Amino acid sequence: TITRRLVEMHGGEIRVESLPGEGSTFYVVLLCEPAPVSPPAEAAAKGDLSDAKATRRSSARILLVEDNVVTQKVVLALLRKKGYHIDVANDGQEALAKLEAAETGYALVLMDVQMPVLDGLEATRNIRRNPRWEQLPIVAMTAHAMNGDRERCIQAGMNAYISKPLQPAHLIAMIEKQLAAGATTASAPATNRLERVLTDRLMQEDSGLMNDMLQLFLQLAPERLEKLEMATARSDVVTLTQEARMIRAAAAQLASGSLGECAGSIEVAAARRDFDQVKRDLETLRREIRSIEALTT
């Protein structure tokens, strides 16, 4: 039933063929849009101009505002490989300080939504109050897929919205789009037909499925945390890795990038046998789970 509803949420269909004594074959058909392809002649004609614009964009200076070290490292590695110049702020207050101190202005800000000290929404409101930064593109990064999150980001003054866990191709495309277009007004990001189908179904009849999955995760969370604590005390790398992977898989189903990042960090620290870091990550994981519980009460 869960599989069928997940497929239907994506606008697809599922069927099964079964023969006694031989087994069953399941078929899933999903609606997909073809990737846009530029005509060769047009692409050739625009080649020199496009290359020049791409070079300018790829040398742009970007401010990454993110408190999670794992996400910082992933984004830094990805964007530096593309030629971007990246500065990092660990919270919204630090981001405001870096904007003020910058001798050369930033071309774009990647803003995490949930951070200590000053969160992304309030930081963005402060940025927009300053006339110097009215047109600065700000892209929200959030692990939550809750109703109204997108609207809250846009209302705060952000130009676009990208969900965690971050997909490299999507992130690069979003950055290039914002840099190419510039920021004129804070407007909602464009969505294709598939995104609209998925969003509509999540917000309507299929929201019950997401709630069921969330409740199941919260029911299992205490047992998972206990196993992680016991494994840490025993320096049991195998169990730590197994439990962390289970939580990471659940986080992906719930579209919770912050949970997935915590679990991933535990897995990495366990592999290094850095059990002090595992303990710190466990505390972060506990806080993330408490935050999710607060959303359901």
Q: How many angstroms from the chain centroid is the CA of residue 158?
A: 15
Fold observed for domain 207-295 = Four Helix Bundle (Hemerythrin (Met), subunit A) (1.20.120)
- Is the pTM higher than 0.75? no
The DSSP secondary-structure symbol of 36 reads P
- Residue 234 has a pLDDT of 93
**CATH for the stretch 55-190:** 3.40.50.2300
Residue-wise pLDDT for 8-40, tens only, equals 656 677 888 888 888 888 888 876 656 655 555
Residue-wise pLDDT for 64-95, tens only, equals 999 988 889 989 988 998 899 999 999 999 99
Q: What are the sequence ranges of the domains in the chain?
A: 2-31, 55-190, 207-295
**Which tokens sit at 97?**
């300080």
Residues with Cβ < 8 Å from 198, sequence gap 6 or more? 9, 10, 11
CB neighbours of residue 35 within 10 Å: 5
Measured between alpha carbons, how far apart are the two ends of the chain, in Å?
26
- Residue 147 has a pLDDT of 55
